[in-house]
Amino acid sequence: MMNQETDLYNLIEFAVNETEMQDILLGPIAEFVQANHHKSELQQIPAFSTLHNFLKNGTSMVREKDKARLVARFYADEKLLRCYYDQLNFQDQQLFSLFTWEGVVSYEAAQAIYKTDLFEYRDKQNRFVYIKQAFSRLKPFLHWYPYGIAPGYIKTLTEDIAFRKVCFSMPHFLRRAFSVILEMPKAGELVPITIAKHWLIFNFEAAVYEELPHVISYLQQDIIKINDKGILNIPSLKSAQKKLQLKTFPNDCGYIKLMMLAGFTRRPTKETTIEITPKVIGEVFLNTKRISFRMLEPLIFPYTGLRKVHNVFCNGPAYDSILNIPKTLPPGQWVTLDNIQRNASCNLVGLSLLSEGIIHELQPNFSNLTAFQYTRSHNIEKQKIITRQAITSVLLIAASLGLVELAYDPANKDLFPDNPKDMHEGSFSACRLTALGEHILLGRSDYTAPAAARPTTCEWDTEKQCLKVIGNFRLIADRLRHWTSEFATDNALLLDVEKIIKSCQDKEDLLNSISKFHQSLTVPMPEDWKRQLMQLVYNSQQVRPLLLTQVYKLSPYDKQLHRLVIQDEVLRKLIIKGENYTIIVECINHDPFIKRMAELGYVLETPSTYRLKDIHFVGRTASENELLTDFDELIENRKN
């Protein structure tokens, strides 16, 4: 076998074993071999002779380990598969062609090919649905939910079939085999178009050089938040978009473009300042070393449910293939989104981005025909819809990074939601590569970056004692907003000591703030600022808090106690006298103090949480009778 045929053989053998489809696929092969063993053109094909030796008496005698090999032998042989296809009737050929290039065929499409119902009620009373015997050969490709009786509100066979989500699909390894022998439909070729002058064009090539530094800065500062699972926090995205006011798509509900930029941008260390160059933009888009939740969510942004999944299996080769779609666009020419989707369906045979378990969790977060179809579809059809969405999203991500520009037909109302804040699929009419896109994706060397691509720098103005920003002032001002205020003119920043002090509760906060400030500067800190900040540190050292102390409030009426505190030699060594009848005892002296006070006749209360001003004492001495009465009450209360 040739290399291509060998690769296909290995793919089919592995996939058949993996899906356990040996028996269901081998039966029709055996029927074909037995019915055509006398034809000389088939006898000349080595693969046919091998199959005939194994299958001339049916499949019952075939060893289990040989079944997948025989299926692979049949479908990997181009000549044999072509003979098999040629003997199919015209309707079957139409269906197999749709299988190959479309992947999933709806029941309605199959019904239109055969011009009849493919299903029937065999038991009309209990309404059990079966595929007709005449179409039993299609069972290997049938997907539906056959069990159970349909609800009472379903009255017709058509409604019952829709309820069971009937569709047909050929396994991806068989689609790959048939794609070798079948001619790709012309609708699958990329055909450039000329767009109308009134179409809306959105180009972010210049904007990305200004916007991406802000996104990176917001990720560094945790303004755009990422949870422990690695998923972007949506409220933080909405808040960041309000501050940044990024240029967005016309059907962006408010934060989708920012989600795409933040999802594909690695969070750098806080000490890093990145200069945005074409190389950096290319690395952001083509970052495929590790496919994370944060990168997957922008691909399926109109669908919820990904956050419920603990582990995501993403098909790496499928992801890479989708990511490479912008590279297939013809330079300098517009291509419609529908054309790109059809081309991908034909060329990327068997493309499934996410596992079926994840597909089952996803639900549309928008309302249109696609959402309606998705909710009524079998998982195999949902997989196709999700893949189409991922292709659209990859082009939107490329547009966000300035690699492609988008065109919108204003007359196509499906491209725009009724409410601008509503979620939308992000569809557009057409797209084409920008000069930056051709440079990064196609390797064109004659690229000149726009003026916005010039790096932002800072320098110290000794005369005005301020930091002067040359370039993207908003970026630096936002990065240093906790420590500086904006100078009235000249794109300059002044050290704001009051702002620093207000944000600090203690000296440790101050030291952390100064350290972060130093890390956030892109130039050495000016000496004048160093002096001012260090003076704040010195000031903080002039007052020292002591945690390991106990404060006691004395009754102003107990003169004997006052004399003891002043005259007792032991107490004088243990206490520090305060004002307003207070004494301070260090914790190291606390136990000796308690013991000495008890020896002097004063057993102390448990420390309370009262404020000093709220502690009150009785201003008279109790009589002997009062002492007796109070004692009796005390004992009674202790009993209770």
Q: Is 139 helix (H, G, I), strand (E, B) or coil?
A: helix
- Pull the structure tokens for residue 369: 């025909």
Measured between alpha carbons, how far is 69 from 59 in angstroms, rounded to an integer? 13
CA–CA dist 476, 213 (Å, integer):
10
Provide the pLDDT for residue 427.
94
SS3 of 371-409: the string is HHHHHCCCHHHHHHHHHHHHHHHHHHHHHHCCCEEEEEC
Q: Report the C-alpha gap between 381 and 362 in whole angstroms.
A: 13
**Residue recorded with tokens 């300035």:** 402
Three-state secondary structure readout of 189-243:
CCCCECCCCCCEEECCHHHHHHHHHHHHHHHHCCCCCECCCCCECHHHHHHHHHH
pTM for the predicted model, two decimal places: 0.77
- Indicate if the pLDDT at residue 439 is higher than 90: yes
Provide, rounded to the nearest whole percent, the portion of the chain with pLDDT above 70: 94
Span 474-498, average pLDDT? 85
In this structure, the strands spanning 167-169 and 104-106 are antiparallel
Q: Band of the pLDDT at 329, cuts 50, 70, 90?
A: very high
Q: Find the range with the poorest average confidence among 41-45, 154-158, 228-232, 453-457.
A: 453-457
The two tokens of residue 354 are: 């996410």
Say what the pLDDT of residue 288 is.
64
Per-residue confidence (pLDDT) for residue 80, from 0 to 100 = 94
Give the integer Cα–Cα distance in Å for 10 and 17: 11
Q: Which residues pair with 570 in a beta bridge?
A: none
State pLDDT tens for residues 368-412.
888 888 888 888 888 888 999 999 999 999 999 999 999 999 999
pLDDT at res. 240: 94
User: Which DSSP helix (H) or strand (E) runs through 433?
Assistant: strand 430-433
Return mean pLDDT, the chain: 86
Q: Comparing 571 with 274, which gets the higher pLDDT?
A: 571
What whole-number distance in Å separates Cα of residue 537 and Cα of residue 476? Answer: 25
Give me the pLDDT at residue 640, please.
63
Asked whether residue 502 carries a pLDDT value surpassing 90, the answer given is no
Whether residue 452 has pLDDT greater than 70: no
- 415 to 252, 409, 410, 434: CA distances (angstroms): 11, 8, 8, 22
Q: Is the pLDDT at 183 greater than 80, yes or no?
A: yes
Instruction: Report which of 74, 105, 111 is spatially closest to residue 91, judged by C-alpha positions.
Output: 111
pLDDT value at position 579? 85
Give the DSSP H or E segment for 293: helix 293-299
Lowest mean pLDDT among 55-59, 155-159, 543-547, 619-623: 619-623
CA distance 12 to 177: 9
User: For residue 227, what pLDDT is reported?
Assistant: 85
For residue 104, pLDDT over 90 is answered with no
The residues with which 303 forms a beta bridge, in sequence order, are 364
CA distances from 355 to 380, 381, 452, 468 (A): 10, 13, 42, 53
Residue 70's pLDDT is 92
Higher-confidence residue: 479 or 357?
Answer: 479
Query: Measured between alpha carbons, how far is 262 from 374 in angstroms, rounded to an integer?
Result: 28
121: pLDDT strictly greater than 90: no
Residue 1 has pLDDT above 60, yes or no: no
- CA angle (52 as vertex; 48, 55 as ends), nearest 5: 130
Tokens at residue 351, please?
């493309």
Q: What is the pLDDT of residue 356?
A: 75
| SS3 of residue 182 by DSSP | coil
What is the spatial distance between Cα 33 and Cα 25, in angstroms, rounded to a whole number? 13
Q: For residue 448, which of 436, 431, 440, 460 has the smallest C-alpha distance? A: 436
What pLDDT shows up at residue 306? 82
Q: What are the sequence ranges of the domains in the chain?
A: 3-186, 200-441, 467-540, 549-639
On the question of pLDDT at 457 being above 70, the answer is yes
For tokens 């990511």, name the residue. 323
Strands 167-169, 335-336: pairing kind: unpaired
User: Distance between CA atoms of 298 and 322, rounded to whole angstroms?
Assistant: 13
pLDDT at 619: 65
Per-residue pLDDT of 31-84, as tens digits, reads 899 998 888 888 889 999 999 888 888 888 888 889 999 999 999 999 999 999
Structural contact between residues 103 and 199, judged by C-beta atoms closer than 8 angstroms: no
Is the pLDDT higher at 63 or at 4?
63
Give phi and psi for 598, each to the nearest 5. -65, -40
Q: Are 287 and 260 in contact (CB under 8 A)?
A: no
pLDDT: which is higher, 215 or 147:
215
Q: What gap in Å lies between CA 95 and CA 137, rounded to an integer?
A: 12
* Share of residues in the chain with pLDDT > 90 (%): 33
| The two three-digit tokens of residue 614, written as one number | 């709220």
- Tell me the sheet residues that pair with 123: 128
Tell me which of 180-189, 331-340, 342-351, 576-585 is least confident.
Answer: 342-351
Report the pLDDT value the prediction gives residue 401, as an integer from 0 to 100. Answer: 96
Closest CA to 527 of 456, 476, 467: 467
> Could you tell me where the DSSP H helices lie in 116-171?
157-163
Under 8 Å between Cβ of 412 and 429: yes
Pick from 4, 102, 138: nearest CA to 350: 102
Q: Which residue has the higher pLDDT, 127 or 76?
A: 76
Per-residue model confidence as pLDDT tens digits over 190-205: 999 999 999 999 999 9
| DSSP per-residue letters across 495-552 | E-HHHHHHT-SSHHHHHHHHHHHHHH-SSPPPHHHHHHHHHHHHHHTSS----SEEEE
Q: Report the C-alpha gap between 371 and 313 in whole angstroms.
A: 23
Which of 508, 489, 499 shows the shortest CA–CA distance to 532?
A: 499
The arithmetic mean of pLDDT across residues 342-348, rounded, is 87
Who wins on pLDDT, 99 or 634? Answer: 99
Q: How far apart are CA 640 and CA 630, in angstroms?
A: 16
Rounded distance, CA 471 to CA 456, Å? 4
Task: Report residue 525's pLDDT band, with 50, 70 and 90 as the boundaries.
Answer: confident
Assess contact for 210 and 472: CB atoms under 8 A: yes
Q: What pLDDT was estimated at residue 180?
A: 92
pLDDT band per the 50, 70, 90 thresholds, residue 152: confident
Q: Comparing C-alpha atoms, which of 350, 345, 324, 347 is closest to residue 11?
A: 350
Give the CA angle between residues 546, 551, 555 to the nearest 5°: 160
Give the range among 85-94, 134-143, 369-378, 451-460 with minimum mean pLDDT. 451-460
CA–CA distance, 458 with 473 (Å, rounded to integer): 9
- Quick one: average pLDDT of 121-129? 73
pLDDT at 310 > cutoff 70: no
179: which 2 tokens? 């794609």
Tokens of 52: 């005939």
